Amino acid sequence: MTTTVTDVQTADADGSTISWDPIFDEVGLPKDSSNIYTQTVAAMLHAADIINLRHRCRIILAQPKNEIMVHFPVRMDDGHHQLFKGYRVQHNNAIGPYKGGLRFHPDVHLDDVKSLAFLMSMKCSLVRVPFGGGKGGVKCDPRQLSAGELERVARRFTAAIANDIGPDYDIPAPDMGTNAQVMAWIADTYMQIGGRHERDPGAVVTGKPIAIGGSLGREKATGQGVVDVLREMLPDLDIPIDDMRVSILGFGNVGSWAGRILYDMGANIVSVMDHTGAIRNDEGLDAHALADHCAEHGGVAGFEKRAATTGTGKHSGQGGTVISEDEFWTTPSDVFIPAALEGMVNEERAKQLHTRVVAEAANAPTTPEGEKVLHQRGIEIIPDMLCNAGGVTVSYFEWVQNRSNVTWDVEQVDRELNRIMCMAARRTIVARQKYETDMRTAAYVASLEHLGDVYANRGIWP
Ligand code: NAD
């Protein structure tokens, strides 16, 4: 998503002036190369040029269809009311209903949500699940909210957007700061107020607890998808999964599941950093014990004190040593997995990285400047739209199961996920070879080719 603005425009000799694609003016986008949405559109237009995508598709994709912003009051535990701001951006639904996560985080902004919604359109098209792209969020810090406050925020936000979502129209899912419990509250609220006349209103969200229609395998799906893609791509790069060294930034849902699955396959998880601190063990951390510790204590901090008594696998019981942020970024690894916030692999950090592959488990973790440095240093990037598409893929399976009143066992979920992820990885590799381009542009190309076909077949009404 973050292929650079300067890749698609020309700079003056001193690099100070950028000549912008006329589409920026045509659709009224800010010509600001530091704006995350501008970067997203620039990357798309670059890939669109390669395949001569029709002008009408380019302008449609350059802006989301709907940008919804709501403000809603919530009663806090001390009795006062606080006003919250929420967003739902519906980028494109040419292929199917809008689909994408809801993020609860203090830094949620409209432009971030727009780019994430855009990325969802690209991701669903790349993996060929029949969904469009959406994203949403509430500006809040869930760690500072009590369980009751969090529930009231989730329910009031759902009430605020209830007319704009639905199982056939827009289907949210978990993202940063939200989880299966939040999805359960959203589903329940929607059933009470919005969708009581629908056949299966619970299908309004995915990532639900199993008891109310969630899919087996959904919780680990994004991490599992990261691993499926790595297994498909690493042999080409001569990196064997067993014994490879992995560093992980962010050990929440995505990072910890990718870490645990890789650990079970024999990889050495050599360093992990999250918002509470960083830890290292060149012999390999015990990923299961670390995930349990994070669940109990809210982050990796304090893991170094754990007694080496639990866990399974070859690094069973292995704790680690506390390291600084700089040490984390310079820890030698074969694969670096950013699984936290956007933009963390910036120019400075990209220069520090001592790795061969960056597998973008997070959305948009690499800035355009960071990406340039990684390319210059010959570090391969497996782009977010491919790497973390496992989540939306199993969300699609959940939606299919809800709508057809069937339950798949976890083997079926894993098998189908693996099939879809491997095909998407192959599609990307083929586009890369055909157009002799980087992996991110190749993923855009493979995605836009499909969207272009859909628009060519559907036409544009009236
Ligand atoms: P999460 O809330 O479960 O975990 C986020 C992790 O990031 C935590 O470990 C947190 O400590 C860490 N983090 C936050 N701020 C940090 C900082 N300043 N420095 C270091 N670490 C920090 O979120 P998640 O669901 O695992 O999502 C992570 C990323 O993956 C996001 O970009 C999200 O959009 C993307 N993603 C998630 C899913 C999914 O199914 N959950 C699917 C696709 C993409």
From first to last of the 462 residues of the chain, give the pLDDT tens digit.
444 444 444 444 445 466 789 999 999 999 998 899 999 999 999 999 999 999 999 999 999 999 999 999 999 999 999 999 999 999 999 999 999 999 999 999 999 999 999 999 999 999 999 999 999 999 999 999 999 999 999 999 999 999 999 999 999 999 999 999 999 999 999 999 876 678 889 999 999 999 999 999 999 999 999 999 999 999 989 999 888 999 999 999 999 999 999 999 999 999 999 999 999 999 999 999 999 999 999 999 999 887 554 555 566 667 899 999 999 999 999 999 999 999 999 999 999 999 999 999 999 999 999 999 999 999 999 999 999 999 999 999 999 999 999 999 999 999 999 999 999 999 999 999 999 999 999 999 999 999 999 999 999 999
* Residue 388 CB–ligand 1 contact under 6 Å: yes
Contact 85, 71 (CB under 8 A): yes
- For the chain, what is the HEC assignment? CCCCHHHHCEECCCCCCEECCHHHHHCCCCCCCCCHHHHHHHHHHHHHHHCCCCHHHHHHHHCCCEEEEEEEEEECCCCCEEEEEEEEEEEECCCCCEEEEEEEECCCCHHHHHHHHHHHHHHHHHHCCCCCEEEEEEECCHHHCCHHHHHHHHHHHHHHHHHHCECCCEEEEECCCCCHHHHHHHHHHHHHHCCCCCCCHHHHCCCCCHHHCCCCCCCCHHHHHHHHHHHHHHHHHCCCCCCCEEEEECCCHHHHHHHHHHHHCCCEEEEEEECCEEEECCCCCCHHHHHHHHHHHCCCCCHHHCCCCCCCCCCCCCCCEEECHHHHHHCCCCEEEECCCCCCECHHHHHHCCCCEEECCCCCCECHHHHHHHHHCCCEEECHHHHCCHHHHHHHHHHHHHHHCCCCCHHHHHHHHHHHHHHHHHHHHHHHHHHCCCHHHHHHHHHHHHHHHHHHHHCCCC
Residue 219 CB-half CA count within 13 A: 13
pLDDT at residue 314 in the model: 61
Nearest atom (ligand 1) to Cα of 178? 2
pLDDT at residue 13 in the model: 42
The residue from 99, 114, 123, 135 that is catalytic is 135
Closest residue by Cα to atom 4, ligand 1, is 252
pLDDT at residue 10 in the model: 45
Contact 195, 166 (CB under 8 A): yes
Query: CA-to-CA distance for 56 and 35, rounded, in angstroms?
Result: 23
* Residue 345 CB–ligand 1 contact under 6 Å: no
* Residue 272 CB–ligand 1 contact under 6 Å: no
Residues across the chain = 462
Query: CA-to-CA distance for 10 and 173, rounded, in angstroms?
Result: 39
| Ligand 1 centre distance from Cα of residue 361 (Å) | 9
Tokens encoding 252: 């929440």
* Residue 337 CB–ligand 1 contact under 6 Å: no
| Ligand 1 centre distance from Cα of residue 41 (Å) | 23
Contact 381, 360 (CB under 8 A): yes
Contact 408, 215 (CB under 8 A): yes
From the CB of residue 354, how many other CB atoms can be counted at a distance below 10 Å? 14
Q: Which of 251, 253, 395 to mutate to test the pocket of ligand 1 (most atoms within 8 A of CB)?
A: 253
Tokens encoding 332: 């030698």
Query: CA-to-CA distance for 283 and 386, rounded, in angstroms?
Result: 30
| Ligand 1 centre distance from Cα of residue 13 (Å) | 39
In 3D space, the residue among 38, 52, 2 whose CA is nearest the CA of residue 448 turns out to be: 52
- Asked about 135 being catalytic, the answer comes back as yes
| Ligand 1 centre distance from Cα of residue 404 (Å) | 31
Query: pTM value?
Result: 0.94
Residue 155 CB-half CA count within 13 A: 14
Q: Are strands 18-19 and 170-174 parallel, antiparallel or unpaired?
A: unpaired
Nearest atom (ligand 1) to Cα of 254? 26
Closest residue by Cα to atom 30, ligand 1, is 362
Query: CA-to-CA distance for 161 and 194, rounded, in angstroms?
Result: 9
User: Is 376 exposed, middle or buried, given 0-12, 13-18 or 19+ CB atoms closer than 10 A?
Assistant: exposed
In 3D space, the residue among 355, 369, 364, 365 whose CA is nearest the CA of residue 271 turns out to be: 355
| Ligand 1 centre distance from Cα of residue 370 (Å) | 19
| Ligand 1 centre distance from Cα of residue 294 (Å) | 13
Tokens encoding 442: 């190749």
Tokens encoding 370: 């960071």
388 CB contacts (<8 Å, ≥6 apart)? Answer: 123, 222, 225, 226, 254, 360, 361, 362, 363
Q: Which of 109, 175, 229 to mutate to test the pocket of ligand 1 (most atoms within 8 A of CB)?
A: 175
